[in-house]
Amino acid sequence: MCGIAGWVAFDGDLTDHLPVVDAMTASMGERGPDASGTWVRRHVALGHRRLAVIDLPGGVQPMRARTDSGVVALTFSGEVYNFRELRAELERRGHRFETRSDTEVVLRGYLEWGEDVAARLTGMYAFGLWDERVGKLVLVRDRVGVKPLYYHRTADGILFGSEPKAILANPAFERVVDVDCLRELVGFTKAPGWSLWRGMSEVEPGTVVTVDRSGLRHRTYWRLETKPHHDDLATTVGRVGELFGDAVRGQTVSDVPQCVLLSGGLDSSAVTAVAGAELAGRGEKVRTFSVDFAGYEENFTPDELRETPDSPFVRAVAEHVGSLHRDIVLDSRALADPALRRAVVAARDMPIGLGDIDSSMHLLFRAIREECTVALSGEFADELFGGYAWFHHEAARDADTFPWLAFSNAYTGDRTEMLRPDLRDRLDIGAYVADEYATAVKAVEHLDHEDALERRMRTSTHLHVTRLVRAMLDRKDRMSMAVGLEVRVPFADHRLIEYVYNAPWSMKAVGGREKSLLRTAVTSLLPSSVTERVKSPYPSTQDSGYALELQRQAKDVLAERDSGVFAVFDADWVRTAVALDPAAVTGRLRTGLERVLDLHHWIDLYRPELRLD
């Protein structure tokens, strides 16, 4: 796992801009703490920050291959899980390797298959490749978007990077955020290609972008396709177990210490069980980590989202699997630390995140990184198997909008209520979301025999797998890579996705139970208490002391003269929120204060030009 950056200028001489190239690369130092490298020619510069995971001495980048017609250079981020099989095939075709790295497999794969190498890779990856033979840059992103990749078109070429901060480090980019940029930040539809910054775009998952003197072109090499499902329930359960097991086992390849993120939920527990068995076969014990809050279990109060604390289920799985387990216990003072919030905002490059959930995840990953470099996660299962509450909530399910926006509880509702009224009118979030929803549902293919419920649930699953999960993956990547931790996502294996997506909803919700298909497939691996547990989201602190500290910090923002925060947020809304009893600052109120503070740090860190008229 690494950070990549690059610059192509067909009419310029980049050898005169080495400090800028170095700055772009250095901006992602946390993504790659082990090594830094740049490769610069007149019209192209590639940068790389390395987190060494496979072939520690041999995977140095940018990596080059010399041919009779010119150099081909690669800057690569991520992991290719089938690199050994591809390497063997390339060796049969006459290629000779100098390293054991998956990076060299990608490079020589391109020499053999050109851009079509993308379709042969299984893994999570984003890379930029310069082909000197034809004067072309190739950008590739993995099928579902586990690894991020952004770009900005310039007058004579392109800038690109794993994160926006790499592009922002180039003075040629104007740091402008306008109303169009803000609509998606507030609307939360995860529009394809969106970036907060005007003129910057995200390379869409499953896409190859090529840039040469004639312009920029996009080609989709993978998309979620609708196909008939012919297997009965028993066969489907067995096949899901096989595909899931293969994915987990394939992702335990590492030359550095690894672990599993264990929450005690079905998804992470299943990953733990399979990884534990695989590592036991190698004579190793699986390591597991979980996050908890001081006094959380003893003082837990059930709410709309969480019926139980995680700890009893975490202990049950750790004991069942025999893992080497460690609880990372946090308190509200650590979560409310302004320095932590600032670090989280810097990691995400965005002013609106998930509050204490992001902060606690950052602290969790920081603690894990002291002992491990790679972690496996249960991310993607809820979106694929129908785990979220709104999959099973009739009003949210049947609404003609994104289900996660239609679902209503104490934490959801009007996402614009804390905005300045004039800005709220200009954004017109309702119209924006409606347009994005109409565009999203047009991309869903249906089978002729599907009934109304099946069509609705196929649409919903498609929206989750091609929209919502990308936001969740981006969050997980940013929080982990900010401390140099590589998080792998077995449920994001494209072969598992393709199979489960086309299984009928009746198999995924047997008896109306969420994730019943996955539940049945892994039931023999886990304690019954875990397989019967109701879905519970990532934990959030219930300590009112956290809300009190949010109020105190928000008062400081209110006291600032001419704060840019109030070009976006309504100062009267903030005054009302900080005057409440801290015990009443829950749900949307707490989220709103967190966003005020996020925006405050983001403006100070990035110095954006806000054009909101």
- List the catalytic residues: 2
As a whole number of angstroms, the distance between CA 439 and CA 219 comes to 19
**Greatest CA separation found in the chain?**
73
How far apart CA 482 and CA 475 sit, in angstroms, is 11
Q: C-alpha distances in angstroms, 287 versus 277, 337, 353, 374? A: 12, 29, 29, 11
What CA–CA distance (Å, rounded) separates 78 from 383?
A: 22
Instruction: Note the Cα 502 to chain centre separation in Å.
Output: 23
d(CA 52, CA 36) in angstroms, rounded, equals: 11
Backbone φ and ψ of 153, nearest 5°: -80, 130
First to last CA, the chain: 40
Give 539's DSSP letter: P
Residue written as token pair 């950008």:
139
Pairing status of strand 35-40 against strand 44-50:
antiparallel
Contact by Cβ (8 Å): 160, 151:
yes
Q: Is 282 helix (H, G, I), strand (E, B) or coil?
A: coil
Helix 356-369 × helix 469-481 angle, to 10°: 50
For 499, how many CA atoms within 13 A lie in the half-sphere containing its CB? 21
DSSP state of 182: H
